[in-house]
Amino acid sequence: MKKIRIKHTDLEVSNLVMGCMRIGELSEKELEELTETYLSEGVNFFDHADIYGGGACETAFGKLLKKKPELRGQIYLQSKCGIRQGFYDFSRDYILESVDGILKRLNTEYLDVLLLHRPDALMEPEEVAEAFDRLEQSGKVRYFGVSNQNPMQMELLQHTVRQKLIVDQLQMSIVHTPAIDSGMAVNMAIPQGVCREGSIMEYSRLKGITLQAWSPFQKGMFEGVFLNDREKYGKLNEKIEELAEKYGVTNTAIAVAWLTRHPADMQVILGTTKPSRVREAARGSELPLTRQEWYGLYQAAGNMIP
């Protein structure tokens, strides 16, 4: 398992992440087995959010930590807050209240990373700054970041917030590549050339921000996976299978490797609750796709290479 250092921190983390959005569906035994599988493959980073399962996912993981308290010193915990029923809320009081709830459910005294979950159009950076200061000074949160934000949204926040924003979590997969597309078609009057995300890929590399790719196998907003979808992505799956055979891995590993091959040193968030899929995905952590192979997959997904 490849490890990367998140810039501006002392966190040496796996480039694959256990995404905990669906673990509330598991029994205690199943969750323990799944977590042990991730750990055995070298994953040491776990991603939560207060809205996952309405808090049930954090509660389930907290029960595991209570049963096995030694795990807390072996892993990094990240959670997110800011999404409420029908709106977003980055107000000082709500952030502070949310973190207290997260810590209680996770049965831990601190988070390694807290992310603001999706942009709040009514955000007042001064309130966020005050909340971050209180959380850092109290020892409840070590580091901070955001989710689904563009560069100017982060600049607005960073102008006031004292702490470095170290992470931006974005949807990304071979078939969802807005962060790459416009850079591939600069100055071209075609849909692919439209910059929809503010050059977040380049911005993150310049600023030392680690991108975390969520839904690495999804073809849309939870519309199902593109792997083995031969009706819509026949050419891509054919190419993936060729590479899987070449490298002696599964198609899951190739989908992961396409992301981990990028020099931005992204983390890939796996949402699977199946230990077998975890093991398959882990084979893509350090799989060295060539430039020709990487671009070939990008093109097979329906993108143009000018």
pLDDT tens for residues 217-251? Answer: 998 777 789 999 999 999 999 999 999 999 999 99
Say which of 52, 76, 143, 233 is annotated catalytic. 52
Residue with the two structure tokens 């959670």:
79
HSE toward the beta carbon, residue 285, CA cutoff 13 A: 21
The reported pLDDT for the residue numbered 222 is: 73
Percent of the chain with pLDDT over 90: 93
Q: Residue 79 gets which letter from DSSP?
A: E
Tell me which residue has tokens 């997959």: 297
Q: What does the pLDDT profile of the chain (306 residues) look like in tens digits? A: 999 999 999 999 999 999 999 999 999 999 999 999 999 999 999 999 999 999 999 999 999 999 999 999 999 999 999 999 999 999 999 999 999 999 999 999 999 999 999 999 999 999 999 999 999 999 999 999 999 999 999 999 999 999 999 999 999 999 999 999 999 889 889 889 999 899 999 999 999 999 999 999 998 777 789 999 999 999 999 999 999 999 999 999 999 999 999 999 999 999 999 999 999 999 999 999 999 999 999 999 999 998
Of 115, 5, 138, 6, give the one whose Cα is nearest residue 50.
115
Amino acid code (one letter) for 189 = A
Tell the burial category of 14 from Cβ atoms under 10 Å away from its Cβ (0-12, 13-18, 19+).
buried
**pTM for the full model?**
0.95
Active site residue 52: yes
Domains identified in the chain and CATH numbers:
3-232+264-273 (3.20.20.100)
